[in-house]
Amino acid sequence: GFVGSCGVVGKAAGLRRRECVRMVSTSTTTEKMAYAVLCDRLKEISYLGGVAGLLGWDEQVMLPEGGMTARGKQKAALAATLHDKRTDAKLGELIATAESEVQSLGLMEQANIREARRAYDRHTKLSRELAAREAELGVEGFIAWKKAREESNFSMFAPV
């Protein structure tokens, strides 16, 4: 059977935890395997997304101001890696394979596949460079917002 956290899979595909369930017993072994491989890929993406979240939390709570530039570079590098995984052609093929078997799967698995497709299509519309730049600008924007808030001068934030 399928082992793992469907909550992690759902998070990577954009689903809420309660919308994710384990494989249903009505699926055949081949269908379970195809779905499980897709889930493994989505779990890896989710784990990396969790690392990005920790970097963001640390940036806002613990990181000294002198570390912000390096943090921007770290987040940009991670965003580029995440983008590569989210837009990998093999992931698209796995989603397509799962879509072809969707009728034999349960409703929750069908929802997972549908949301995985939606996320994949959304991410493939964004270039790797733009994903990295967005992450880096997020750090710059946070720095500008923090300073603007301290000085009650929010026009400082506008250029970022």
Cα-to-chain-centroid distance, residue 12: 5
pLDDT of 26 = 44
pLDDT of 2 = 30
103 burial level (CB within 10 Å; 0-12, 13-18, 19+): exposed
Helices 29-61, 6-13: axis angle to 10 degrees equals 70
**pLDDT above 70: residue 32:** no
Please tell me what DSSP assigns to residue 101: T
3 burial level (CB within 10 Å; 0-12, 13-18, 19+): exposed
Question: Would you say 68 and 38 are in contact if contact means Cβ atoms under 8 Å apart?
Answer: no
**pLDDT above 70: residue 101:** yes
**pLDDT above 70: residue 66:** yes
pTM: 0.76
Question: Would you say 102 and 34 are in contact if contact means Cβ atoms under 8 Å apart?
Answer: no
Gyration radius of the chain's alpha carbons: 19
**Coil vs helix vs strand at 47:** helix
Question: Would you say 155 and 96 are in contact if contact means Cβ atoms under 8 Å apart?
Answer: no
Number of residues that make up the chain: 160
